[in-house]
Amino acid sequence: MAKPTLLYGVGATKAGTSWLYRLLDDHPECHVRAVKEAHYWNSETPEQRQRRVEVLTRQLQGLEHDRQAAVARGNGQKAANLDRRIAAIAGLIDVMRGDVADHRAYVNWLSAGCGKAQRLIGDVTPAYGLLSTERLREMLAVWKGPVRVVYLIRDPLERLWSHVRMDAERRMQAGDDFAAKAHGIFDRLLARTGEMQIWRRGDYRAAIRKLTEAVPAGGLLIGFTEQMFSGEGRARIYDFLGITAGADDVAEDRLVHPSRGLDLDDARAERAVNMLKVQYNWVAENVGTLPAVWQANLARASA
């Protein structure tokens, strides 16, 4: 029997990777662990792995508390779903604490529970798009079978503003004003005085260049987020991954983790697009014709 294909979903942040994960998780021919964003390959040092263990441990404690509550309410289905997540996180903690020299424990964790009829195994972690070319090659080489990489790209301005709103909501404390929090982050980005990781997460040019160098020909799919939700876009993903078309009811649910709503004023939008023009132009020249929303936002740039 042929070895399943390994898929890495590598980004970008706020560009539809949660939608991709759900698409795979609900597909009978796919196997993904109940941890969206394993962060294995970008936890390279002992210190980074320890920080990851601490985050996962807090998540595990919260899930165990939720499971106890579900059992107490007699909600067996929710308890079973939580059991799946608890097992996946506990296993990943063991991987992070163990010997990562040959990545064997990671591969075993990733494929644990894969059924004979399942043709694809996946790890959807957007942060992998920030890895070096050398680390990407190491990531691809660990699997002794077919490997595919999907990199989703969303309109740069829309992605940037969504990322800012997500960060603002995460930082909210009692008495904070959400708009002021989000605008503060955005203004620091425009001034390049803070939150530089948000710029890096949307540096399509840098990520695609590294991926093109690292991924063998035919193994990389770069998809415009705005086109992936269509029937044609989904068919392209299914064909690329070698799985049967399906799960369209899940695929239509675009906003898996939508950021809190807040309009971006024209002045800030224009300044941001002026700074993002290099991304728009590079993608147009190297990936393909820009979707309508990309073209509309690019037109907001000053001459």
Q: How confident is the model at residue 229 (pLDDT cuts 50, 70, 90)?
A: confident
Ramachandran angles phi, psi of 38, nearest 5°: -70, -30
Angle, in degrees to the nearest 10, between helices 17-25 and 231-241: 60
Query: Cα Rg for the chain, rounded, in angstroms?
Result: 20
Indicate whether 251 belongs to any domain. Answer: yes
Indicate whether 65 belongs to any domain. Answer: no
pLDDT of 181-191, one tens digit each? 999 999 999 99
Q: For tokens 């800030």, what's the residue?
A: 268
Structure tokens at 235: 């068919």
> The domain that contains 255 carries what CATH number?
3.40.50.300
Amino acid 152: pLDDT? 96
Residue 240 predicted with pLDDT over 90: yes
pLDDT of 263-286, one tens digit each? 999 999 999 999 999 999 999 999
Buried b vs exposed e over 13-39: b needs ≥16 C-beta within 10 Å?
bbbbbbbbbbbbbebebbbbbbbbbbb
Mean pLDDT on 210-236: 94
Structure tokens at 133: 């070319």
Indicate whether 121 belongs to any domain. Answer: yes
- Shortest CA distance to 94 belongs to which of 79, 81, 112? 112
The pTM (predicted TM-score) of the whole model is: 0.92
Amino acid 203: pLDDT? 96
Alpha-carbon gap, residue 210 to 153, rounded angstroms: 15
Q: How confident is the model at residue 251 (pLDDT cuts 50, 70, 90)?
A: very low
CB count within 10 Å of CB 48 equals 13
Alpha-carbon gap, residue 279 to 57, rounded angstroms: 37
Indicate whether 70 belongs to any domain. Answer: no
Question: How many domains, in total, are found in the chain?
Answer: 1
- What single-letter amino acid sits at 8? Y
Alpha-carbon gap, residue 130 to 139, rounded angstroms: 13
Structural domain range at position 245: 5-33+112-298
Indicate whether 71 belongs to any domain. Answer: no
